[in-house]
Amino acid sequence: MNGSSEAGTMEDSWCRYLPHLHRTLADPEVGHALPRSYISLGFDETCAWWETLRYLFRALLGWRHLPAGLAWWYAAGKPTLDDPRLRLVLERWDTRQELDFFAAREWESGGVTGMGTDGLEWPVSIYEPRPDWWRDLKSRSIAGYPSPYGGGYNPLHLGHSDEVGDERPVEPSTGHHDIATRRAVVIVSGFGSWRRELCHFGAVLPDLGEHSWHVEVFDRRGGYLGLFRQSRVTGRWFQGKHSIHIVGNPTPPPTEG
Protein backbone atom coordinates (compact mmCIF):
# COMPACT_ATOMS: atom_id res chain seq x y z
CA MET A 1 0.00 0.00 0.00
CA ASN A 2 1.31 3.48 -0.84
CA GLY A 3 -1.28 5.32 1.22
CA SER A 4 -3.14 6.70 -1.81
CA SER A 5 -6.28 4.73 -0.93
CA GLU A 6 -6.51 6.41 2.48
CA ALA A 7 -7.92 9.91 2.85
CA GLY A 8 -6.05 13.01 3.93
CA THR A 9 -2.91 12.40 5.92
CA MET A 10 -2.62 8.86 4.61
CA GLU A 11 -1.33 10.39 1.38
CA ASP A 12 1.79 11.25 3.38
CA SER A 13 4.38 8.59 2.51
CA TRP A 14 5.72 8.71 6.09
CA CYS A 15 2.39 7.25 7.21
CA ARG A 16 2.03 4.47 4.66
CA TYR A 17 2.48 1.64 7.19
CA LEU A 18 0.13 2.89 9.90
CA PRO A 19 -2.96 0.93 8.79
CA HIS A 20 -0.78 -2.18 8.50
CA LEU A 21 0.29 -1.73 12.11
CA HIS A 22 -3.33 -1.97 13.24
CA ARG A 23 -3.90 -5.01 11.04
CA THR A 24 -0.80 -6.73 12.36
CA LEU A 25 -1.89 -6.18 15.96
CA ALA A 26 -5.41 -7.37 15.16
CA ASP A 27 -4.19 -10.57 13.48
CA PRO A 28 -0.46 -11.19 14.04
CA GLU A 29 -0.60 -14.61 12.36
CA VAL A 30 -1.29 -13.06 8.97
CA GLY A 31 1.59 -11.68 6.92
CA HIS A 32 0.62 -8.01 6.62
CA ALA A 33 2.67 -5.41 4.79
CA LEU A 34 4.38 -3.95 7.85
CA PRO A 35 8.13 -4.52 7.24
CA ARG A 36 9.94 -6.70 9.74
CA SER A 37 13.20 -4.76 9.44
CA TYR A 38 14.73 -1.66 7.87
CA ILE A 39 17.06 -3.93 5.89
CA SER A 40 16.41 -3.69 2.14
CA LEU A 41 14.12 -0.66 2.53
CA GLY A 42 14.67 2.50 0.54
CA PHE A 43 14.98 5.86 2.24
CA ASP A 44 11.27 6.73 2.05
CA GLU A 45 10.25 3.31 3.33
CA THR A 46 12.79 3.52 6.17
CA CYS A 47 11.35 6.86 7.26
CA ALA A 48 7.87 5.35 7.22
CA TRP A 49 9.08 2.31 9.18
CA TRP A 50 10.44 4.49 11.99
CA GLU A 51 7.39 6.77 11.84
CA THR A 52 5.19 3.75 12.50
CA LEU A 53 7.10 3.11 15.73
CA ARG A 54 6.53 6.68 16.85
CA TYR A 55 2.81 6.31 16.08
CA LEU A 56 2.63 3.08 18.09
CA PHE A 57 4.00 4.79 21.19
CA ARG A 58 2.02 8.02 20.85
CA ALA A 59 -1.32 6.99 19.32
CA LEU A 60 -1.74 3.47 20.70
CA LEU A 61 0.03 3.49 24.07
CA GLY A 62 -0.97 7.14 24.40
CA TRP A 63 2.48 8.34 25.43
CA ARG A 64 2.45 12.10 25.29
CA HIS A 65 6.15 12.26 26.07
CA LEU A 66 8.31 9.58 24.50
CA PRO A 67 11.59 10.31 26.36
CA ALA A 68 10.01 9.62 29.74
CA GLY A 69 8.18 6.51 28.55
CA LEU A 70 11.26 5.08 26.87
CA ALA A 71 13.43 5.83 29.90
CA TRP A 72 11.02 3.90 32.11
CA TRP A 73 10.92 0.98 29.69
CA TYR A 74 14.70 0.76 29.37
CA ALA A 75 15.13 1.01 33.13
CA ALA A 76 12.73 -1.91 33.55
CA GLY A 77 14.71 -4.02 31.06
CA LYS A 78 12.27 -3.58 28.13
CA PRO A 79 9.75 -6.21 29.32
CA THR A 80 6.74 -7.04 27.16
CA LEU A 81 4.42 -7.04 30.20
CA ASP A 82 2.06 -9.25 28.17
CA ASP A 83 1.34 -6.25 25.96
CA PRO A 84 1.15 -7.04 22.22
CA ARG A 85 2.35 -3.55 21.27
CA LEU A 86 5.53 -3.77 23.35
CA ARG A 87 6.06 -7.30 22.08
CA LEU A 88 5.78 -6.05 18.50
CA VAL A 89 8.29 -3.28 19.17
CA LEU A 90 10.86 -5.87 20.23
CA GLU A 91 10.03 -8.18 17.32
CA ARG A 92 10.15 -5.51 14.60
CA TRP A 93 12.21 -2.56 15.84
CA ASP A 94 14.78 -4.12 18.18
CA THR A 95 16.10 -7.27 16.51
CA ARG A 96 19.48 -5.57 15.97
CA GLN A 97 19.26 -3.17 18.92
CA GLU A 98 18.16 -0.50 16.48
CA LEU A 99 15.64 0.78 19.02
CA ASP A 100 18.62 2.41 20.75
CA PHE A 101 18.92 4.90 17.89
CA PHE A 102 15.28 5.90 18.20
CA ALA A 103 15.57 6.25 21.98
CA ALA A 104 18.77 8.27 21.66
CA ARG A 105 17.06 10.75 19.38
CA GLU A 106 14.24 11.21 21.89
CA TRP A 107 16.52 11.54 24.91
CA GLU A 108 18.90 13.94 23.23
CA SER A 109 16.07 16.22 22.18
CA GLY A 110 14.28 15.89 25.51
CA GLY A 111 11.17 15.29 23.43
CA VAL A 112 11.16 18.86 22.17
CA THR A 113 10.97 18.16 18.44
CA GLY A 114 8.53 20.86 17.51
CA MET A 115 5.98 18.27 16.39
CA GLY A 116 3.36 16.86 18.72
CA THR A 117 5.11 17.36 22.05
CA ASP A 118 2.43 19.64 23.52
CA GLY A 119 5.14 21.98 24.79
CA LEU A 120 6.08 19.59 27.58
CA GLU A 121 9.77 19.39 28.46
CA TRP A 122 11.12 16.68 30.72
CA PRO A 123 14.75 16.37 31.89
CA VAL A 124 15.51 12.90 30.56
CA SER A 125 18.09 13.91 27.96
CA ILE A 126 20.74 12.89 30.50
CA TYR A 127 19.22 9.43 30.86
CA GLU A 128 21.70 6.60 30.34
CA PRO A 129 20.47 2.97 30.52
CA ARG A 130 23.88 1.80 31.71
CA PRO A 131 27.35 3.32 32.12
CA ASP A 132 28.97 4.28 28.80
CA TRP A 133 25.76 3.61 26.87
CA TRP A 134 26.05 6.88 24.94
CA ARG A 135 29.71 6.35 24.17
CA ASP A 136 29.05 2.84 22.91
CA LEU A 137 26.09 3.98 20.83
CA LYS A 138 28.17 6.59 19.02
CA SER A 139 30.71 3.92 18.13
CA ARG A 140 28.03 1.78 16.50
CA SER A 141 26.55 2.08 13.05
CA ILE A 142 23.19 1.01 11.76
CA ALA A 143 24.73 -0.91 8.87
CA GLY A 144 24.84 2.16 6.67
CA TYR A 145 21.07 2.59 6.68
CA PRO A 146 19.22 5.84 7.47
CA SER A 147 19.00 6.28 11.23
CA PRO A 148 16.73 8.45 13.40
CA TYR A 149 19.79 9.46 15.44
CA GLY A 150 22.80 11.35 14.15
CA GLY A 151 23.21 13.42 11.04
CA GLY A 152 21.25 16.40 12.30
CA TYR A 153 18.42 17.45 14.56
CA ASN A 154 15.78 15.17 13.03
CA PRO A 155 17.41 13.40 10.08
CA LEU A 156 14.39 11.28 9.15
CA HIS A 157 11.91 14.14 9.72
CA LEU A 158 9.85 12.07 12.14
CA GLY A 159 6.62 13.46 13.52
CA HIS A 160 4.32 13.25 10.50
CA SER A 161 2.03 10.78 12.29
CA ASP A 162 1.48 12.94 15.35
CA GLU A 163 -1.69 14.43 13.91
CA VAL A 164 -2.97 11.35 12.06
CA GLY A 165 -6.51 10.72 13.20
CA ASP A 166 -7.20 14.36 14.00
CA GLU A 167 -8.72 15.39 10.66
CA ARG A 168 -12.35 16.38 10.38
CA PRO A 169 -14.52 13.37 9.50
CA VAL A 170 -15.97 13.21 6.00
CA GLU A 171 -19.19 11.67 7.31
CA PRO A 172 -20.71 10.98 10.75
CA SER A 173 -19.47 8.04 12.78
CA THR A 174 -21.81 5.32 14.01
CA GLY A 175 -21.69 4.12 17.61
CA HIS A 176 -23.36 1.75 20.03
CA HIS A 177 -22.87 1.20 23.76
CA ASP A 178 -24.03 -1.10 26.55
CA ILE A 179 -23.86 0.24 30.11
CA ALA A 180 -24.19 -3.21 31.70
CA THR A 181 -20.93 -4.44 30.12
CA ARG A 182 -19.25 -1.04 29.80
CA ARG A 183 -18.52 -1.95 26.18
CA ALA A 184 -18.99 0.28 23.17
CA VAL A 185 -18.30 0.21 19.44
CA VAL A 186 -17.69 3.15 17.13
CA ILE A 187 -17.35 2.95 13.36
CA VAL A 188 -15.37 5.96 12.16
CA SER A 189 -15.59 7.48 8.70
CA GLY A 190 -11.88 7.20 7.90
CA PHE A 191 -8.38 6.58 9.18
CA GLY A 192 -7.54 10.26 8.95
CA SER A 193 -10.18 11.17 11.52
CA TRP A 194 -10.36 8.22 13.90
CA ARG A 195 -8.88 9.97 16.93
CA ARG A 196 -11.14 12.98 16.59
CA GLU A 197 -14.19 10.76 16.13
CA LEU A 198 -13.24 8.57 19.10
CA CYS A 199 -12.94 11.65 21.32
CA HIS A 200 -16.32 12.97 20.15
CA PHE A 201 -17.95 9.57 20.68
CA GLY A 202 -16.41 9.19 24.13
CA ALA A 203 -17.67 12.62 25.15
CA VAL A 204 -21.32 11.60 24.67
CA LEU A 205 -21.11 8.22 26.38
CA PRO A 206 -22.87 8.02 29.78
CA ASP A 207 -20.68 8.75 32.79
CA LEU A 208 -19.60 5.53 34.53
CA GLY A 209 -18.13 7.18 37.60
CA GLU A 210 -15.01 5.33 38.68
CA HIS A 211 -15.17 2.94 35.74
CA SER A 212 -14.06 3.34 32.13
CA TRP A 213 -15.65 2.51 28.83
CA HIS A 214 -13.98 -0.10 26.64
CA VAL A 215 -14.45 1.17 23.10
CA GLU A 216 -13.69 -0.89 20.02
CA VAL A 217 -12.87 1.30 17.03
CA PHE A 218 -13.48 0.29 13.43
CA ASP A 219 -12.54 2.21 10.30
CA ARG A 220 -15.05 1.81 7.47
CA ARG A 221 -12.24 1.29 4.98
CA GLY A 222 -9.41 -0.24 6.97
CA GLY A 223 -11.21 -2.41 9.50
CA TYR A 224 -10.42 -2.94 13.17
CA LEU A 225 -8.24 -0.30 14.86
CA GLY A 226 -8.30 -1.73 18.37
CA LEU A 227 -9.80 -1.55 21.84
CA PHE A 228 -9.34 1.78 23.62
CA ARG A 229 -9.97 3.25 27.05
CA GLN A 230 -9.78 6.84 28.23
CA SER A 231 -7.51 7.53 31.18
CA ARG A 232 -9.17 9.41 34.03
CA VAL A 233 -5.70 10.71 34.92
CA THR A 234 -4.44 11.97 31.56
CA GLY A 235 -7.69 12.26 29.64
CA ARG A 236 -6.04 10.49 26.70
CA TRP A 237 -7.33 7.44 24.84
CA PHE A 238 -5.00 4.46 24.81
CA GLN A 239 -4.71 0.72 24.28
CA GLY A 240 -3.49 -1.83 26.82
CA LYS A 241 -2.72 -1.38 30.50
CA HIS A 242 -3.08 1.94 32.26
CA SER A 243 0.17 1.31 34.14
CA ILE A 244 2.00 1.33 30.79
CA HIS A 245 0.11 4.36 29.48
CA ILE A 246 0.82 6.52 32.50
CA VAL A 247 4.63 6.30 32.34
CA GLY A 248 4.63 8.17 29.04
CA ASN A 249 2.63 11.01 30.56
CA PRO A 250 4.79 12.38 33.40
CA THR A 251 3.84 15.27 35.59
CA PRO A 252 6.05 18.23 34.66
CA PRO A 253 8.77 18.96 37.22
CA PRO A 254 8.17 21.97 39.48
CA THR A 255 9.40 25.31 38.23
CA GLU A 256 12.45 26.61 40.07
CA GLY A 257 12.56 30.06 41.55
Torsion region of 188: left, alpha or beta (phi above 0 gives left; psi -120 to 50 gives alpha)? beta
More confident residue, 224 or 143: 224
> What type of residue is 128?
E
- The predicted structure's pLDDT at residue 256: 38
Using CB atoms within 10 Å of the CB of residue 47, give its burial: 0 to 12 exposed, 13 to 18 middle, 19+ buried: buried
Give bridge partners of residue 238 from the DSSP assignment: 229
What does pTM read for this prediction? 0.89
| Per-residue pLDDT, 252 | 62
Q: Would you mind telling me the total number of residues written for the chain in this entry?
A: 257
Higher-scoring residue by pLDDT: 31, 58: 58
